[in-house]
Amino acid sequence: MTYSIVARDKTTGEFGVAVQSHYFQVGPVVPWALAGVGAVATQSRVNVSFGPLGLDYMRAGYSAEQALRALLAGDSQPDVRQVALVDGTGNVAAHTGAKCIPAAGHRTGDGFSCQANLMEKDTVWDAMCNAYVSADAPLAERMLAALDAAEGQGGDIRGKQSAAMLIVSGTPTGRSWEDRIVDLRVEDASDPLVELRRLLHIKRAYEADSAADRLEEGGDKDAALHKRREAMVLAPEMVELRFWSGLSMAEAGRLDEGCRLIAEAAAKNQRWIETIRRLVAVERITAELADAIEARLSPASSRL
């Protein structure tokens, strides 16, 4: 009793699934994806095994259509299942069983499929497709546009409860933890799509911060600081980003600018001051830098 989209980005090769449902913890059930292989959405009277089995079939060389036929042939109740797959070359296959609760249906496009069941209206899957192909954005944001369009048509007739998004890279690295690009879950919320969008927004900020870490490790401190500022603009409410950005600025010799950010973090939670001391204990920063920061954070300082 769900609407979802499964897709492959033609430019990046990324595979993704996004879903919303009036169901607690839809994330562990519906979306499945494997870098370089494909993605699966399994729903309605859900057969969870369709997810891992579908990926296994496609990893073995089956096309999306061949994998779908194999899944349905081995199932005792295919008429109550809804499932969609996209394979490594962008081929798509989808199935909506005759006994899925109406309104139920799917629509496939170039490298993607939108599917839904127990919807208020039978216009949901067409609206999802139109929104997805019309959006000019990264895969995650395009899939969110499809989910928003489904909700705009009335969505799940029972209401809304949970949502999830899973995106993996198109080319496997051999390090599965790096291949999982986006893995967001809203387990139980009054407006799960709003919360999913908020989480994706924060994810983008932390991606920028991680890019700053890599630039810093490579010795490009100016580019790293630019990325850290970008992260703070994306998620100004995230105090931790302000602290680490401030610390990086202080380490780069921009002590006053860095301390202003650290002071903003400390104003929210004084434990950030103790964090500075603990960083000294493990030689993450020097005692001299910590002393300089704390001197500027003192109430007597007029520079903050």
Q: Which residue has the tokens 């009036």?
A: 22
Per DSSP, what are the bridge partners of residue 5?
Answer: 18, 114
Structural domain span for residue 33: 2-190
pTM, two decimals, is 0.92
Write down the pLDDT at residue 298.
Answer: 79
141 and 232 fall within a common domain: no
257 and 181 fall within a common domain: no
- Residues 223 and 216: their CA atoms lie apart, in Å, by 8
Write down the pLDDT at residue 48.
Answer: 97
CATH code (residue 121): 3.60.20.10
Number of domains, the chain: 2
Give, rounded to a whole angstrom, the gap between the first and last alpha carbons of the chain.
54
Residue 303 has pLDDT above 50, yes or no: no
124 and 33 fall within a common domain: yes
Domain presence at residue 302: no
Chain centroid to Cα 48, Å, comes to 21
Tokens representing 190 are 């009054």
CATH code (residue 248): 1.25.40.10
Write down the pLDDT at residue 299.
Answer: 62
Tokens representing 159 are 């209401």
Cα dist from 224 to 211, 238, 303, whole Å: 7, 18, 25
pLDDT digits (tens, 9 = 90+) for 99-149: 999 999 999 999 999 999 999 999 999 999 999 999 999 999 999 999 999
The mean predicted confidence, pLDDT, of the chain is 94
Domain presence at residue 304: no
36 and 153 fall within a common domain: yes
20 and 110 fall within a common domain: yes
Domain presence at residue 303: no
Residue-by-residue DSSP string for 99-161:
TSPSS-EEEEETTEEEEESSBS-TTHHHHHHHHHHH--S-HHHHHHHHHHHHHHTT-BTT---
pLDDT digits (tens, 9 = 90+) for 143-183: 999 999 999 999 999 999 999 999 999 999 999 889 999 99
160 and 87 fall within a common domain: yes
* The last residue of a domain, from among 190, 225, 240: 190
Residue 304 has pLDDT above 80, yes or no: no
- Residues 296 and 275: their CA atoms lie apart, in Å, by 16
CB 264, CB 220: distance < 8 Å: no
56 and 155 fall within a common domain: yes
132 and 211 fall within a common domain: no
